[in-house]
Amino acid sequence: MNARGGPLRAVVGGRKGTPREILDAPHPLLSATTEPVDPTAPEVVAAAADLLATLRRETSTPGLAAPQIGLSWRLIAFDTRLHPRTRSWAGELVLANPRLASASHWDPGREGCASIPGLTADVPRASRITVHAHLPGTGEPVTIEADALEARCIQHQLDHLDGLLILDRVPGALSLHRRLHSCDS
């Protein structure tokens, strides 16, 4: 949940974004470290709205990061409400400059990625995290405390901001798998 107590719904400055194409690996933007943003800048607000619009279109994935739509900025969007393994649910959110403040209770889990359509991988992640960020548009600081699937999803998106894919996190040669069904996402 977020520090204000209830789930949030992203508004992104009242703008209606345009869904963008999702980049597939290999693509240089997916391996590049992203730049911090001014969350109140109009172009950042527009990008956040586009990221949210893309997430809403891609119903099979609970999260996206800006590099996946071709922007090398520190923006992520997520909404894990409909995922069967969700426990915490902070809401439908776009975050600017998210920063992992704490992580604990590490667990393995199998992940897919919207930018790697054919594969899944076993990735260890913290199952309890705290993230500080700003909301695009208002620039309001927020603190997200997430667990289980939402925590995993946020960490996956944070990795994208550092140019890391699930492929960079696998613990061994037998941890890479063909994607069989959508529940791997």
Partner 1 sequence: MGLSAVTVLGVDRPGVIAAVTGSLADCGANIQDSTMTLLGGHVAMMLLVSGDLDSAELLKRLCAPDLVVTASAIEAQRHFCEEGGGLGYVLTVHGPDRPGIISAISAVLAEDGGNITGMSTRLTGRLYVLIADVELPKEVDVAALMRRLAAVGACLDSEITFRPVEPDLL
Nearer to partner 1, 5 or 172 (CB): 172
Backbone angles phi, psi at 173, to 5 degrees: -65, -25
**Residue position matching structure tokens 């607000």:** 45
**How many C-beta atoms lie closer than 10 Å to residue 9's C-beta?**
10
Q: Does 172 bind partner 1 (CB under 8 A)?
A: yes
Q: Does 23 bind partner 1 (CB under 8 A)?
A: no
Stretch that binds partner 1, among 15-23, 33-41, 43-51, 115-123 (CB under 8 A): 115-123
Q: Does 119 bind partner 1 (CB under 8 A)?
A: yes
Stretch that binds partner 1, among 19-27, 41-49, 64-72, 145-153 (CB under 8 A): 19-27
The Cα–Cα gap between 177 and 184 comes to 10
| Among 116, 142, 153, 158, interactor with partner 1 by CB under 8 A | 116
CB 25 → partner 1: shortest distance, Å? 5
Quick one: the chain helix, strand, coil %, rounded to 5?
Answer: 25, 30, 45
Q: Does 167 bind partner 1 (CB under 8 A)?
A: yes
Q: Does 3 bind partner 1 (CB under 8 A)?
A: no
User: What 3 state SS string does 20-87 have?
Assistant: CCCCCCCCHHHHCCCECCCCCCHHHHHHHHHHHHHHHHCCCCCEEEHHHHCCCECEEEECCCCCCCCC
Q: Give the 3-state secondary structure of residue 154.
A: helix
Nearer to partner 1, 72 or 138 (CB): 72
The mark string for 34-73 relative to partner 1 (x by CB under 8 A, - otherwise) is ----------------------------------------
DSSP 156: H
Nearer to partner 1, 58 or 145 (CB): 58
The Cα–Cα gap between 119 and 111 comes to 9
Chain residues that interact with partner 1, rule: CB under 8 A: 24-26, 31, 116-119, 165, 167-168, 170-176, 178
